[in-house]
Structure 1
Amino acid sequence: MKMTGCLWAAAAGSLIMGAAMAVADETEIGRNVSVELNAAKSGETGCMLSFVVINGHPGRIDRAVYETVLFDAAGQVDRLTLFDFGALHPGRPRVRQFSISGMSCEGLGQILINGAHSCTSQDLNEDACEAGLDLRTRTQIEVMG
């Protein structure tokens, strides 16, 4: 009977440990920066890109600037530029817009986030802007990184 009690205790301990590990894994999910290309609209001066950005980290990012490569519809590099997403508070969606002069949105084929040009935060590590960067699009323009 003591052996059964020991097995029960071991099984219960394993279940508790497994549940604790699952909770720990859940808290790590989403600890990244999510960048979604939400809209692309052509205007008189060029293409206006609208991004929805969410800082999934527990701390504030004071400034997030990404080196970005724009490819034309034929797949050739059109330009290399910096997108400054500014300050990102934890868990608060922010919309940032960038005007791409001299290019229609129809002429834009892909956007490559080459990496974080700068990422400043008093609360987070230097790689907070790049670690697990989540890229999405709601447009015909592919976003990759």
Structure 2
Amino acid sequence: MEIELNKLEQRADACVTYLVFGNRTTIDLTSLQLELVLFDDQGLIQQRLALEAAPLAAGKTSVKLFEVAGTRCEQIGRILVNGVGACSSAEGALTDCLQRIEPSSRLSTKLFK
């Protein structure tokens, strides 16, 4: 599962994060709850987010937008994929979703695990 940080866009008092998900598996994900931790340029934790990224169809690329309220985009130095809270398909829970994630970024803001 590829996850690319593609764009950060400032809107009023929130930073909108554009993530591109490439589900290169043969499994339709009905749930993918990600725990993300945002750090500033100094390495200090700014915020923790829990996001639901599903549904993600098998073999498909999808763009998901997430709003980070009360945050300026320029305050985000890097984003950690800290964990996966839930990951499942129609057949049930999957246990190795964090290991399947391949994070990348097109920005100077790094997305990593």
TM over 0.5: yes
Structure showing the higher strand proportion among its residues: 2
1:104-135 per-residue CA deviation (whole Å, 9 max, x = no partner) reads: 11110010001111101134761342223110
The residue type paired with residue 127 of structure 1 is T
> Corresponding residue for 1:50?
18
> Corresponding residue for 1:122?
90
Q: 2:44 aligns with which of 51, 62, 76?
A: 76
The whole-number CA distance in structure 2 between the counterparts of 1:135 and 1:81 is 16
TM-score by length of 1: 0.73
Unaligned runs of 5+ in 2: none
Q: CA deviation at 1:66?
A: 0.5
> Corresponding residue for 1:90?
58
What is the alpha-carbon root mean square deviation over aligned residues? 1.5
Q: Which runs of 4+ in 1 moved over 6 A?
A: none
TM-score by length of 2: 0.92
The count of corresponding residues between Structure 1 and Structure 2 is 113
The residue type paired with residue 63 of structure 2 is V
* Secondary structure, aligned partner of 1:130: helix
Structure label with greater radius of gyration: 1
Cα contact 2:37–2:45 (8 A) shared by 1: yes
* Stretch deviating more after TM superposition (116-125 or 59-68): 116-125
Q: CA deviation at 1:90?
A: 0.7
Cα contact 1:60–1:123 (8 A) shared by 2: no
Alignment of 1:133-144 (within 5 A): 133-144=101-112
1:10-34 per-residue CA deviation (whole Å, 9 max, x = no partner) reads: xxxxxxxxxxxxxxxxxxxxxxx11
The whole-number CA distance in structure 2 between the counterparts of 1:122 and 1:110 is 33
The whole-number CA distance in structure 2 between the counterparts of 1:96 and 1:128 is 22
State the identity %. 25
The residue type paired with residue 64 of structure 2 is R
Unaligned runs of 5+ in 1: 1-32
Greater RCO (CA < 8 Å, at least 6 residues apart): 2
> Corresponding residue for 1:66?
34
